Structure formats: structure tokens, C-alpha cells
A and B are shown apart, each in its own frame.
Chain A
Amino acid sequence: MTTTVLPRVNYLNVRHTLASWLFTKDHKRIGLMYLVVVTAAFALGGVFAAGVRIELTTPEGDFVSADTYNRLFTMHGVAMVFFVLIPAVPAILGNFVLPLMIGAKDVAFPKINLLSWYVFVIGFVFTLAAMAFGGVDTGWTFYTPYSTQFSNSSVMLTGIGIFITGFSSILTGLNFMVTIHRMRAPGMTWFRMPLFVWALYATSIVQILGTPVIAITVGMLALERALGFGIFDPRLGGDPVLFQHLFWFYSHPAVYIMILPPMGVISEVIACFSRKPVFGYSFVAFSSLAIAIFGFLVWAHHLFVAGISPYSAMVFSFLSFAVAIPSAVKTFNWTATLYKGAIWWQAPMIWVFGFLGLFLVGGLTGLFLASLGLDVHLHDTYFVVAHFHYIMVGGAIMGYFSGLHYWWPKMTGKMYSNSAATFAAVLVFVGFNLTFFPQFILGYLGMPRRYHVYAEEFQVLNVMSTAGASLLGVGYTLIASYLIHSVFRGRAAGDNPWGATGLEWETQSPPIPENFDETPIVTGGAYEYTKRGAKVA
């Protein structure tokens, strides 16, 4: 490494007071502040998951009561979906690197960016309060009429928490969209942008168009629960299934809010560690947009057995198959990128290999569920649980960790232990498969989701799953420990420890508050390794 000490002035040490963090408008500091809150939510969601897995080790309900179990899986879902998966990559990594990648000093609206963080934290506090007041037991899906007329848990407080948090997502999406349109450095044309920026742009579309719908839906739920409006109550002429349409109109596209940004990360990391441009750049870029748009047209595939007409089920099945194609195209392009590369097996790349394996399984098992005749059997079984964990954890979280390892030296100026990080990636990969692969089999055997007590013949597979979850817990703890260790004891990383292209690597690590000494001028594409070489700096 060329440098041994950190640069004298950087965004971390420029001011030290707590107020300098709480009132910062620096996108890099805001990114780190998201990292703190999201990590706390991830730990909390992990504890709830641990409770669920311990209970399911035996078929009887012997660890917690049925009511507690129902609260555990609900709060696991709420914490992980709304406070980890949705914000992780855009709000932490996106905030940190988006302006750097396009050569900007900050996002377009730095004050709104800070506001987003506060809105997020306030939403989180409401949700935590709901958890403290006994929690919520409706499932993260809040299906009516259980949530409106029957549940005695903190539905309102949780709903308020989710309602508020949604605005954070909308504001971040808006901010990124304007930033990408207006803040690009001279020469940074649309087709010279890194693919992560394209992915964030596509995500912004979904955040801006989709999130208001969940706010409206939660609002209707609150009116119904508090005042008995009857929108979802058949006795008053309402329809409980309407809620499912509204809920999934946001929550299916929300899956793409969770997975598109990690897909962008994968493109960056693969290009860097293969030392060549991403194969089919424009196809990868446009497939993000295609996913963002078609993602709005598949929501009713969650309702195939909920009494919708078989003909509309056909339409939604067809569209669900269609939306799989852009994801397949991305996977093929990533694979082709490796061809004739110079592949450097560093930790971020090991996480990418893990992502590719798990996302492949997650994506392909989606085809089972899009198949009408098969979904009747699989709907609401563990097959669905396994499928979406392969996408959300195997895809989104693996992608997030790949990105975190990739940009960590830029964020902190420090380098972690590559061997520890590689070991953690392998451990998480193995633990993940042991946790969730048996659940596909459980699902086809017919074990329903959200079961506190289950039939005896399902036990062996559940024990395997719990064993895998223990490995996952060890893996995630390991990541936290070596990353924290690196901050205090790690060696200085240097400005460009991976020898990567991209503007974020041309400034110092950690960057100065203004990001660049002078506004960079862009003269070529995003991944011109032939021109730049693979020089580490």
C-alpha cells in the first residue's frame, strides 16, 4: 500500500462534536448514520428470528407461547423489511457513494437528505414503541379483517411507524433521482454512469410511485381499525381482499426496492475484480428499468388462492414470468463478465460468488410460484418462506455485504482482514443454505407458514434449519467484529485499494468533506480497465 497513515483532513475528523453529526448535511456522514440504525434493526430482527428458530426446533410449542411466537415472526418481518432491506443498500451505500460516483459534492438536497434520516429514525422509534408495548401479531402483511377487527396487539403504533418511515424512502428516492439528473460531473453522460447509479435510479422510480400507496393503505387500515369505516369489512359492504390488492401493489414493487440496488452493487464489484467492463452494459442498465416498471404489474400473484378470477390469475401469472426475464438477463451478463477476466479473489468478490449462487436459486424458485397450478399447493407454505429468503437474504443481504466490504475502505479509510471476511462469506453461504434449503422441501411436503406447532414428520428438516440459522448468527457477528476491529486497528487502506475504476476511487480515503478537490471531468466509460490498468493506490 502506498499510504500508511490516514489523510489529515477527511469527512470523519473534520469536526468531532455530536452536533456536527446530528446536524450534518454531508451525504457520507448521513450514510454512516443510516448504517448505525439499520445495523441495530438488523440485530433486533435477528434476535426475533432466533426466537422463531429455537421454537421450531421441536414440533411442540414449548419455548414460547403461541401469542409470543406470532409476535416474534411478525416483528422479525417488520424490522427486516421496513428497517433493513428497504434502506440498507440505497440509504447506506447509495448515500455514501452516489455523489462520489457521479463526481458531485453532495446530493441535490442535502437538508432533505438529513430530514430523511430523521423521518426514518422517528418511524423506527414508533415501531420500537409498538414492540415495547407488547408487539404486533398480524404478520408483516397486516391482512384484514384480522388486523382491523380481531388483533389485540399494537397494530396502530406499528402502522404509524411504517407510515412515517415510508416518507423517508420517498424523500431519498426523490433526492437521488434529482441528483442523478442534475449533479453529474462534466462528461458523465448517462451511458458512462456506473451501473449502481442506474440501479439506484430505477429504485427511485419505485420508491416515488409505490411508497405513497402503502401510506394510503396503512391510513385506510387505521381508519377501519379506529373508526370502523368498513372498507375491508364484508358486513358493511367492504372487501377484505381489497386490502391484499392495495398492500401488494406496494409490497411487491418493494421487493424490487430491496433487490435492485444490490444488483447494482454486484455489477460494480464484478467489473472491478474481473478487471473488465460489465458484459452488455446497456442491457444490464435497462433491465433495471424494466424490472422497476414491470414490477408494478405482478402484485396479484400473491392472491392466486384468494378468490380472484382464474382469468385475472392467468394474466398475473404471465406477467410474473415476464418479469423474471430481465433478472435472468442480468445473471447471464454477470456470468459472461467473468469470461476472460483477470479475476482477483478478494472478499467483496467472494460475497458476489455467494450472491450469484443464492440469487439463482431464489430467482428460479420464483418460477414455481408463478406457475398457477403449482402455486395452489405451494402458496402460504414454507416453500414461499424459503423462496423469498433466498431473494431477500441470499440476494439483497449478500449484495449489501459485498458492497459494504467493497466500499468499507473508502468509508473508513481502513482495511479489514481479507481472510476473516472471506471466511465469513463462506460461513454465511453455508449457514444460509442449511437454514433455507430444507424449507423448500418442507413447503412441498405441505408445512404451512406461521405455524407455532407443527406435525412431527417435519421435525428433522426444521432442526437442520435451526442449525443453519445458528451458523448464520455466528457469521453475522463475525462480520460486525472484524469490521469494528478494522476501524480501530486496521491498516490504512489507501485511496484505491482494489485498483478500481470509478470516480469514488480517485479521491482520498476517507474523502474530504467536499468529496473532490476539483470537480472531476469524465472522458470515458465506467469500467475502462484497459486504459486505467489495475494499479492499486
Chain B
Amino acid sequence: MLSGIPLFPEQASTLAPEVDNLYFFITAVTAFFALLVVVFVTVFAIKYRDRTGTKVGEPIHGSIPLEIGWSLIPFLITMVIFAWATVVFFQIVRAPDQTLEVYSTGKRWMWRFQHIDGKSEINELHVPLGRPVKVVFTSEDVLHSLYVPAFRVKADAIPGRYSSIWFTPTKTGEFHLFCAEYCGTNHSGMIGKVVVMEPNEYQAWLSGDTGLPMAARGEQLFQQLGCVSCHLPDGAGRGPSLLGKFGGQETLGDGTVVAVDDVYVRESILAPQQKLVAGYQPLMPTFQGQVNEEGVMSLIEYIKTLPSTGQPAAAAQARTAPAPAAQGGSR
């Protein structure tokens, strides 16, 4: 009967064995201490049992060396766990430099995934085997949390912010994808699957019946929303030129320097007055309500493709990845 009970989840990413080794270590250490206490309690309770209730125990009041010992030893052991767990944590939150990026938005009660090349899907995420994938996501309504147990990764989707998870799949197949943060009525229905494919199958899947690439859609929005009328490529417009800005730094009116990453670009579109570039007037209106989260993500993709000099490259071209921007700040 016990064979029918799963005890352990599948390991399907490079992070999973790292997390599991830590899990086994902590399980071993805690099981040892639990057994130690249980054995002592059981032995004492039986050995010193007095059925009459009339005897008196020895008046032992304590022992300083023992107190120091059983404070210090557990503390040192927890520090080992702390250090190990922190190392694993930084592996989980720090994505490698070259990742395949996928954008996602969570909303009640579905996950929408937008691939850079234009393909989009709902509650399914297709990724290639053996390549680091980074999913950058936000929420359109309440809190959600993107969780793939087989990869041992999870992060909350927070309205107004970007979060990210990254993983390198090590197994082909289908894996659960859950919303882990309670989000109302159909929270337990906000689930899907990650489909890990052989790279060539993935390429074939990607090229089938695709939509407009994200950057191209961003370019369209850039025209439609009128961004283009102020953000002139030569810098002579009412807003700064956006050529080659992404991945670099910008100096604000108050002298602070900010990194131009996806978080900053998103904020500049939705709350333009917050961090105004030095030398420019607060003329830009907010685009809150005029462009949805996916539109913002497309605009970011478009801005990423802008070269540092000359005219914008054809947006559909695969971009050469600039420094990954969502690190740290987006988590």
C-alpha cells in the first residue's frame, strides 16, 4: 500500500538537487536531535517512574556548562544550515547572464506566457531542455505566486512590480505549475503545466503559428501611443532618446543614478513623474490604463532592441541580450 504514496517530488531542474541536498541535510540533523530528545524523555520517564506518587526527586537545580553547551552547539549547527541555505538561495534568485526570457502575467485565474518571438500561451509554458530560462512576471490584479515544484522555484506575482524565476530544465516532460498565493475563488484552478521539450522540438513548436514578436508589437505600441513623437532618436525631442539606454544608467533631476532596467522602464511608462531624467520637464502623461501589463512588457522588449547609435534595428531580429536587468531590483 505504501508504494502508492509519493514521498518525494521529481527533480527536473539544475536547482532541484541543490535544494534537495539541503533538505536531506536538515532532515538528518533535525531527526538526530528529535530522536535524542525522544530517547532521553522515554528513558527517564520509564526509569524514574514512581507509581505511588509519594516519592520526591533529587533536588538538582541545573548546570551552567550544560546550559552553555546546549545553547552553543545548536547555534553553531543552525549557522551551518543558515550558510548553506543562503548559498542555495542566491543560486535561486540570481539568474545566469544568458537566459531565454519569457514574460508572464498572472490574473484571476490564469497564467499567460508571452514568448519573445511572439508565441503566447495560457496555463502552459513550453521551454527547451538544458537551457536557462528566466520568466519575468507581474500580476494584473491580486497577489499570485508562480510555483513549479519539480524545479523547486517560486516567486510571488505582485501588482506593480516585476518578479522573476529562473531554471534550467534537466528532464523532458510535463510538470505542474501552481499558483501558490491565495487569490480568491478559483485559486486552486490557477494551475497549468510546464512542458520541457528537446531543443529541436521546441524550435519547431516555436515557429508554428506564431504571433507578432514582442519587440515588433512594442514598436507598434510605440507608434500608436505617440511615444515616438517625444522620444526622438536624435535626442532633440521633449523626452530623452531611448537609443542604447537599456541596461545602462541614467542620472535623475535630483542627482541620483538609477539603473535602466525593466522595473525602471515600467515605472517611467506608468508613473513618469517619479524618476525624471535630469534636464527634462515633467511633461509626459501617465499611460496607466492605456496600456496593459503585456503592452508594457512589449514596449520594454522594443526598447531593449534599440541600438546605441543609428536607426532602430528591425525589431523582429533576435536581440543580443544586454545585461539581465531584472536581477535584484525585481525580486
- Selected from A70, A342, A379, the residue in CB contact (under 8 A) with B187 is A70
Q: Residue B160 contacts which of A239, A282, A499 (CB distance < 8 angstroms)?
A: A239
Of the candidate stretches B81-89, B209-217, B299-307, the one touching chain A is B81-89
Query: B156 touching A307 by the CB < 8 A rule?
Result: yes
| Smallest beta-carbon distance B7→chain A, Å | 6
- Contact partner, A67, options B37, B160, B185, Cβ 8 Å: B185
> Which residues on A sit within 8 Å (CB–CB) of B41?
335, 338, 353, 356-357
What is the minimal beta-carbon distance from B312 to any residue of chain A, in angstroms? Answer: 31
Tell yes or no: A516 within 8 A of B by CB. no
Closest to A277 in B: B61
Q: Is the CB of A307 within 8 A of B155?
A: yes
Flag if B49 contacts A373 (CB, 8 Å): no
Q: Which residues of chain A are within 8 angstroms of B176 by Cβ–Cβ distance?
A: 446, 455
Query: What is the distance, in angstroms, from A22's C-beta to the closest C-beta of chain B?
Result: 40
CB-CB under 8 A from A374, the residues of chain B are 19, 22-23, 26, 85, 88
Give per-residue flags for B75-113: 1 if the beta carbon is below 8 A from chain A beta carbons, else 0.
100110110111111111100000000000000100000
A499 to B56, CA, bound (A): 10
Q: How far is the CA of A278 from the CA of B192 in the complex (A)?
A: 54
- Interface membership of chain A positions 26-64, coded 1 if the CB is closer than 8 angstroms to chain B and 0 otherwise: 000000000000000000000000000000000001000
By beta carbon, the residue of chain B nearest A366 is B30
**Alpha-carbon distance between A536 and B56 when the two chains are bound, in angstroms:** 12
A241/B158 in contact, CB under 8 A:
yes
Q: Do B154 and A305 have beta carbons less than 8 Å apart?
A: yes
Q: Which of A146, A241, A339, A453 is in CB contact (< 8 Å) with B188?
A: A453
The interface residues of chain B lying within 8 Å CB-to-CB of A451 are 187-188
Complex contact B44–A338 (CB within 8 A): yes
A484 at the interface (CB under 8 A from B): no
B21 CB to nearest chain A CB (Å): 10
A283 and B67 contact, CB distance less than 8 A: yes
Contacts of A329 in B (CB 8 A): 67, 70-71
A247 and B327 CA atoms in complex are apart in Å by: 27
From A104-112, A154-162, A197-205, A308-316, the one touching the partner chain is A308-316
Cβ of B264 under 8 Å from chain A: no
Q: How many residues in B have their beta carbons less than 8 Å from beta carbons of A?
A: 93
A-chain residues with CB within 8 Å of residue B45 when the two chains form the complex: 338, 343, 345, 353
Taking the closest CB of chain A, its distance from the CB of B90, in whole angstroms, is 7
Is the beta-carbon distance between A240 and B159 smaller than 8 angstroms?
yes
**Residue B179 lies at the interface, judged by CB distance under 8 Å to chain A:** yes
Chain A, residues 275-300, CB within 8 Å of chain B (1/0): the string is 11101111100000000000000000
The listed residue (B142, B271, B331) touching A150 by CB distance below 8 A is B142
B229 an interface residue at 8 Å Cβ cutoff? no
A66 to B185, Cβ gap below 8 A? Answer: yes
Cα distance A70–B41 in the bound complex, in angstroms: 41
CA of A226 to CA of B1, assembled, Å:
54
> A379's closest neighbor in chain B, by CB?
B154
Question: Contact between A453 and B59 (Cβ–Cβ < 8 Å)?
Answer: no
A380 touches B86 (CB 8 A): no
How far apart sit A240 and B144, CA to CA, in the bound complex (Å)? 12
**A325 to B67 alpha-carbon distance, docked (Å):** 11
With contacts A240-B159, A356-B37, A373-B19 known, is A332 near B182, CB below 8 A?
Answer: no
Which residues from 127 to 185 on chain B have a C-beta closer than 8 Å to any C-beta of chain A? 141-143, 145, 147, 149-150, 152-156, 158-161, 163, 176, 178-185
Interface size counted on chain A using CB atoms at 8 A: 101
* Cross-interface CB contact of B57 among A281, A340, A461, cutoff 8 Å: A340
Q: Closest CB of chain A to B221's CB: distance in Å? A: 20
Task: Find out whether the CB atom of A452 lies under 8 angstroms from the CB atom of B163.
Answer: no
Among A13-21, A180-188, A527-535, the stretch in contact with B: A527-535
Q: Which residues of chain A have C-beta atoms less than 8 A from B67's C-beta?
A: 280, 283, 329, 333
Report the minimal beta-carbon distance from A200 to chain B, rounded to whole angstroms: 22
Q: Which of A150, A235, A372, A534 contacts B56 (CB 8 A)?
A: A534
- Report A-chain residues with C-beta under 8 Å of the C-beta of B188: 61, 66, 448, 450-454
B81 and A321 within 8 A (CB): yes
- What A residues does B78 contact at CB under 8 A? 321-322, 324-325, 367
* B33 surroundings in chain A (CB, below 8 A): 364
Spot the interface stretch: A137-145, A164-172, A249-257, A427-435. A137-145
Contact B59 A530 (CB under 8 A): yes
Contacts of B91 in A (CB 8 A): 373
Contact with A along B46-80 (1 / 0, CB 8 A): 00111111111111111100110011001100110
A281 to B182, CA, bound (A): 44
State the 10 A-B residue pairs at the shortest beta-carbon distance, nearest first.
Answer: A446-B149, A234-B160, A373-B88, A276-B57, A371-B85, A372-B89, A342-B55, A341-B57, A338-B44, A280-B62
A sample of 13 cross-chain residue pairs with beta-carbon separation below 8 angstroms, ordered by A number, consists of: A61-B188, A66-B187, A146-B182, A149-B142, A240-B160, A276-B58, A276-B60, A307-B156, A307-B161, A341-B44, A342-B55, A377-B153, A445-B8
Task: Report which A residues bind B (CB closer than 8 A).
Answer: 61, 66-67, 70, 137, 139, 143, 145-146, 149-151, 234-235, 237, 239-241, 274-277, 279-283, 305-310, 313-314, 317-318, 321-322, 324-325, 328-329, 331-333, 335-336, 338-346, 353, 356-357, 360-361, 364-365, 367-368, 370-377, 379-381, 441, 444-446, 448-455, 457, 460-461, 498-499, 528-530, 533-536
